[in-house]
Structure 1
Amino acid sequence: MGFLGKIRACNTWNPLDFLPFTLNGERIGNLHRGAAAQLRRWPQWFAVTTDAVHWINAPACAAERTATLAEVVDQLVANGLITHCHGELYPVTASTRAQSRCLIDRAAAPFFGMRAFGQHLNGFVRTAHGIEMWIGQRSATRRHYPGYLDHLVAGGLPAELSLAENLRKECAEEAGMAAVLANQAIAVSAVSYCQDSARGLKPDVMYCYDLELQEDFVPRCTDGEVENFRRIPVRDVLELVCDSDAFKLNCNLVLIDFLIRHGFITPEEQDYLELVHGLRAKLP
């Protein structure tokens, strides 16, 4: 599939298959046409037309809008249209987390095609043989991508936590990392993609961090989400990204970003400019 193929695989959606989901004239999501039809059962809240789904009679208070959405989500879960509730709340926003209009359960965001945010940390070591990266293997019990390779630390970004707070939490849970070490992570970039998935549309933003670690550092998973960790030469990581499907799909984007920034993918790469631009897809 190659590097460009990985980026394209994360950006597979046809706007004609979706209807904008609006609140007070602002698009806050994109519903698959089949999903949009399911909202007709709540005519007091949603006006479904051929061109859009409008959230009508929405409460003026963000907390009340959150409660209304939660009631709808609970019913969609009960009917098997959403698999489960995750228990983490994400901001409902047309742009940034700070401009949240209300909150929704993390697992329900794709059904409504709502923007989601996450954090991915590249943990690496400089050795006498060159850069090596700490790579985790996801637990076989994970709901999504069981057994696939993943970053040292990666996770969603709940609405109630700041980026720094959430990164410390994820570092502790996924790698047994002390806060003083997690605080040394450097925010380096953000990548975005928009993917049509079985759960709905995923217009996602991932904040990227680099953390240079000492050779004696050994990660320890404390939340059961990772089966094991391996320290892999960066050239082997490059080959895995380019030539295999070993990594959880969106991790490839963050790794390609790392490989570009650290000079392992250079302008001599045939699709270099398309790779650079493709890592930051324009979100609906």
Structure 2
Amino acid sequence: MACYLFPAAIVAPRSSPLPRFAHHRIRAQKPSISNPKRLSSVVSSGRFGWDDVLRVGEGNQEDDDPSDLRGYFEKVRACNRGSEKQSEFVPFVVEDQIVGYIHRGFIEHLRKFQDVFTIVSGNNGCYIGDRVTLHSSLKKPEDKTRAVGDAITCLGKLIPGIRNELYPVTSSFGMPVFFSLERAAAPYFGIKAYGVHMNGYVERDGQQFLWIGKRSDMKPTFPGMLDHLVAGGLPHGITCKENLMKECEEEAGIPRSISNNAISVGAISYVDIDEYKYKRDVLFCYDLKLPAGFVPKNEDGEVDSFRLVPAAHVANIIQRAEFFKPNCSIVIIDFLFRHGYISPDDHGYLELLQSLRSGDCS
């Protein structure tokens, strides 16, 4: 196969006792920050600190509208961009099953690998085929994995952020795996990607507090932004629970004796289309009630620091700012639904609930 190259500190909570906050349903609150223009600047530049985050979280009671869910809807929309661009993609078919979608422009780069990809033309006279499949000579899953992997390596900087981590290519969760694909390439082939996301929380004096992490500035994606406690993609050959416990150890120093108590609470999904990328993600969500004295410790260098923040304040942050990595926002919104912080009496409750599963949750 010819190869074508293309140019190209962990912070613990304060030692004083946890503050006593009135347990109440989340209300849409304006941030009490002395300089709103500065807040806008730090958010848009990606540079903000915990002081900025906590000021937004504290909010104030002025112009408080308990039924205003607009900030949550904005976060869901941020994960579901580009639906108007679906016509720019064609199906990626393996063994007569649609496993993904590939942009017409990206297909032109795949034409160079004629022993790997087959472009099947339709009857409409278009120069781009109606679908992309794999060459008929690639019979075994390991042959497909190797050949597609070699092509991805040759594509070079067209697919940035290679992680040497393989995702299963399948028609839906639990179905036979046709082959495995480099994680960074998943959105370029539009395959379904699965992950595990966990909210870690503490209860004290009848209040709930969420552990929030601030991503390392060295992360290739969303550097310096906020995450919930633990998250990770689901590689090939590992169960969701086992992967979650592994991520708990690596990202937050949570021993298996504790992480084994994490509770599976459902899944959310979204579709994000941006240029050549067609992200179809399904996130399996977990809750873990942590001991009151537990302090997370990052072990893999991907988290800069942690803070324990009242759940009510986390909701204000999501409503009023862009501090969180987008898909982490909707995982936390799901937590807020399940723990009663968003009420059926709030206008748009059912619509927001349904929007958390905007993608093909299968």
User: Do both share a fold (TM > 0.5)?
Assistant: yes
**Partners in 1 of 2:211 and 2:347 — Cα distance?**
28
Q: Which residue of 2 aligns with 1:277?
A: 354
Conserved 8 A contact 1:118-1:155:
yes
- 7-16 vs 107-116, which moves further: 7-16
The worse-fitting range, judged by mean Cα deviation, of 139-148 and 21-30 is 21-30
1:46 aligns with 2:46: no
1:21 aligns with 2:100: no
Residues 1:98 and 1:172: Cα distance change in structure 2 (over 3 Å): farther
Instruction: Assess if the C-alpha contact under 8 Å between 2:105 and 2:276 holds in 1.
Output: no
Are the equivalent residues in 1 in contact too, given 2:164–2:182 (CA < 8 A)? yes
**Further displaced range: 197-206 or 4-13:** 197-206
Say if 2:302 is the partner of 1:225. Answer: yes
Deviation digits for residues 178-224 of structure 1, max 9, x if unmatched?
11101000000100111013561110011100001121010000110
1:94-243 matches, cutoff 5 A: 94-128=171-205, 130-197=207-274, 200-243=277-320
Q: Give the Cα–Cα distance (whole angstroms) in 1 for the partners of residues 276 and 325 of structure 2.
A: 16
- 2:265 alignment partner AA: V
Mapped to 2, the partners of 1:166 and 1:270 lie a distance apart of 37
Residues in 1 aligned to 2:238 and 2:359: alpha-carbon distance in whole angstroms:
25
Further displaced range: 261-270 or 224-233: 261-270
Does the CA contact (< 8 Å) of 2:116 and 2:148 recur in 1?
Answer: no
Relative contact order higher in (CA < 8 Å, ≥ 6 apart): 2
What residue in structure 2 maps to residue 6 of structure 1?
75
Instruction: Assess if the C-alpha contact under 8 Å between 1:157 and 1:166 holds in 2.
Output: yes
Q: Which residue of the partner structure matches residue 71 of structure 1?
A: 150
Q: Name the CA shift for 1:137/1:104 in 2 (closer, same or farther; >3 Å).
A: same
Deviations 1:234-276 (A, max 9, x none): 1111011111111001011111110001110111222211111
3-state SS in 2 of match to 1:190: strand
For 2:208, the aligned partner's letter is I
TM-score, normalization: structure 2? 0.75
Cα shift at 1:97: 4.4
Structure 2 counterpart SS, 1:250: helix
Q: Is the 8 A contact 1:97 1:159 kept in 2?
A: no
Q: What are the superposed Cα offsets for residues 64-85 of structure 1, whole Å, 9 maximum, x if unpaired?
A: 11111111111112xx211142
**1:39-64 CA distance string (max 9 Å, x none):** 11123332333422222315221111
RMSD (CA atoms): 1.5
The answer on whether the counterparts of 2:161 and 2:220 sit within 8 Å (CA) in structure 1 is no
Structure 1 residues 230-239 or 91-100, which shifts more?
91-100
Residue matched to 1:55: 134
With 177-186 and 82-91 compared, the bigger mean Cα shift is at: 82-91
- Separation in 1, partners of 2:183, 2:115: 24
Runs of 4+ in 1 over 4 A off after TM superposition: none
Stretches of structure 1 lacking an aligned partner (at least 5 in a row): none
Q: Is 1:30–1:112's contact at 8 Å kept on the other side of the alignment?
A: yes
Extract unaligned runs of 5+ from structure 2. Answer: 1-69, 122-127
| Equivalent pair of 1:58/1:65 in contact (CA under 8 Å) | no
Larger Rg: 2
Shift of 1:12: 1.3
- Between the two proteins, the alignment pairs up a number of residues equal to 282
The structure carrying a bigger strand percent of its residues is 1
User: Which residue, 329, 335, 339 being the options, matches 1:252?
Assistant: 329
Question: How many Å separate the matches in 1 of 2:100 and 2:74?
Answer: 26
- Which has the larger displacement, 115-124 or 34-43? 34-43
Aligned AA (1:189): G
Give the Å deviation of 1:99: 2.4
